[in-house]
């Protein structure tokens, strides 16, 4: 990612540390696929030998891994990937010849000298930054005649529309007295019932009976909440596997139910923050027009802005330019 606030940065640190190859979680589980993969493979095929390439917001370096697969066609090319998140790549990819990964880097203030890269690229990354600064930095480090290519989120893409619907679901889940509150209250009641069973005293009998009443009431409320979520957010709710987690949580083999629920809620909260950042970063038509002006202002010409479309619809916008 580019420069994001501290809390968001921590969410992305956790995300990349889980081994995700792209910023979409399960959407491109094996790295970028389909038309996105084709766009970049074609681009890497066009790179001049002995070039220096900078990948902004590299994440787990999926784009550079894709580029490496083209190395039998391109020789002597060095790739540098930077990201604001602190990512621990344990597979040794960053130590390979021609690959340099640098983390904790704000792309709005790159730690490189002027005019040293032949190419600056970004795949679903630079739009998270302040473009007035990151575009200026991209231009600064580009050699004259150097090229940039960005594939960015756009507000009307099917990816953003799908993620927006999922975000609406998560917001609903976190609403007071909704599904997560219901589930929390149910687990608390079940825990109280377990603590006070066997019933050895009058006080324990009373607490046990009260916990049973609360558990039954909340169970009915939870069922109503789940039915509403499943009807309103059909696809994202199914893909969230909330029901699968619920079965696990209520299984006797789950010993610390409160801890398991706490971890689940924390993961959902992080996912909600990442979706919010993604949707807020998606470029509108007005922002694309502003971006074109920024590119021109920073001595970048031969501008090209095109929609990236597959059989399902628009999934991104592709921006390219050449340094004067």
Q: Which domain holds residue 131?
A: 6-154+282-323
Instruction: Identify whether the C-beta of residue 86 lies closer than 8 Å to the C-beta of residue 152.
Output: no
- 3-state class (DSSP) for residue 324: coil
Instruction: Identify whether the C-beta of residue 53 lies closer than 8 Å to the C-beta of residue 76.
Output: no
| 1 within domain boundaries | no
| 296 within domain boundaries | yes
pLDDT band at 141 (very low <50, low <70, confident <90, very high): very high
Nearest one of 154, 86, 79, 163 to 124, comparing CA atoms: 154
What does the pLDDT look like over 174-187, one tens digit per residue?
999 999 999 999 99
| 79 within domain boundaries | yes
What does the pLDDT look like over 73-104, one tens digit per residue?
667 899 999 999 888 777 788 888 899 999 99
CATH number of the domain that residue 11 is part of? 3.40.50.150
Same domain, 104 and 170: no
Same domain, 292 and 243: no
Same domain, 45 and 135: yes
Q: What is the mean pLDDT of residues 240-268?
A: 92
Higher-scoring residue by pLDDT: 241, 6 = 241
pLDDT band at 278 (very low <50, low <70, confident <90, very high): very high
Nearest one of 14, 88, 21 to 61, comparing CA atoms: 21
What does the pLDDT look like over 225-246, one tens digit per residue?
999 999 999 999 999 889 999 9
Same domain, 121 and 80: yes
Same domain, 125 and 150: yes
Instruction: Identify whether the C-beta of residue 120 lies closer than 8 Å to the C-beta of residue 98.
Output: no
Same domain, 192 and 247: yes
Three-point CA angle 321, 306, 4, nearest 5°: 70
pLDDT band at 72 (very low <50, low <70, confident <90, very high): low
Same domain, 104 and 149: yes
Judged by average pLDDT, the poorest of 150-164, 187-201, 305-319 is 187-201
Strand order of the β-sheet with 78-83 is: 99-103, 78-83, 52-56, 117-123, 142-152, 313-323, 300-310
Nearest one of 127, 137, 84 to 106, comparing CA atoms: 84
Same domain, 124 and 173: no
d(CA 24, CA 321): 26
Average pLDDT, rounded, for the chain: 89
d(CA 151, CA 165): 22
Nearest one of 132, 116, 12 to 54, comparing CA atoms: 116
Same domain, 100 and 218: no
d(CA 292, CA 89): 35
Judged against a pLDDT cut of 80, whether residue 70 lies above it is answered with: no
Count Cβ neighbours within 10 Å for each residue of 264-302 and write b for 16 or more, e otherwise: beeebebbbbbbbbbbebbbeeebeeebeebbeebebee
Same domain, 94 and 231: no
Q: DSSP letter for 109, please.
A: S
As for how many domains the chain has, the answer is 2
- The predicted structure's pLDDT at residue 26: 44
């Amino acid at each position: 990612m580019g420069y994001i606030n501290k809390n968001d940065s921590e969410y992305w640190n956790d995300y990349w540390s889980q081994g995700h190859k792209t910023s979409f979680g399960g959407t491109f589980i094996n790295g970028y696929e389909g038309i996105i993969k084709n766009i970049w493979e074609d681009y890497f095929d066009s790179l001049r030998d002995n070039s220096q390439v900078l990948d902004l917001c590299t994440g787990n370096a999926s784009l550079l891994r894709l580029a490496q697969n083209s190395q039998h066609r391109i020789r002597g090319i060095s790739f540098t990937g930077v990201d604001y998140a602190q990512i621990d790549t344990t597979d040794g990819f960053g130590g390979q010849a021609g690959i340099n990964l640098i983390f904790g880097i704000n792309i709005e203030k790159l730690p490189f000298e002027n005019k040293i890269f032949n190419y600056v690229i970004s795949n679903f990354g630079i739009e998270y930054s302040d473009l007035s600064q990151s575009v200026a930095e991209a231009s600064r480090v580009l050699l004259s005649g150097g090229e940039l290519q960005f594939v960015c989120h756009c507000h009307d893409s099917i990816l953003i529309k799908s993620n927006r619907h999922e975000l609406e679901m998560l917001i609903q889940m976190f609403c007071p007295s909704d599904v997560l509150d219901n589930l929390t209250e149910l687990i608390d009641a079940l825990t109280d019932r377990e603590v006070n069973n066997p019933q050895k005293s009058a006080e324990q009998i009373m607490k046990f009976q009260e916990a049973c009443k609360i558990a039954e009431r909340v169970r009915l409320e939870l069922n109503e909440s789940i039915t509403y979520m499943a009807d309103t957010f059909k696809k994202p709710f199914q893909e969230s596997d909330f029901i699968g987690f619920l079965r696990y949580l209520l299984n006797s083999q789950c010993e610390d139910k409160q801890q398991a629920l706490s971890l689940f809620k924390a993961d959902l909260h992080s996912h909600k923050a990442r979706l919010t950042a993604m949707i807020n970063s998606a470029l509108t038509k007005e922002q694309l027009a502003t971006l074109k002006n920024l590119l021109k202002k920073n001595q970048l010409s031969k501008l090209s802005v095109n929609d990236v479309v597959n059989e399902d619809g628009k999934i991104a916008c592709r921006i390219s330019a050449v340094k004067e």
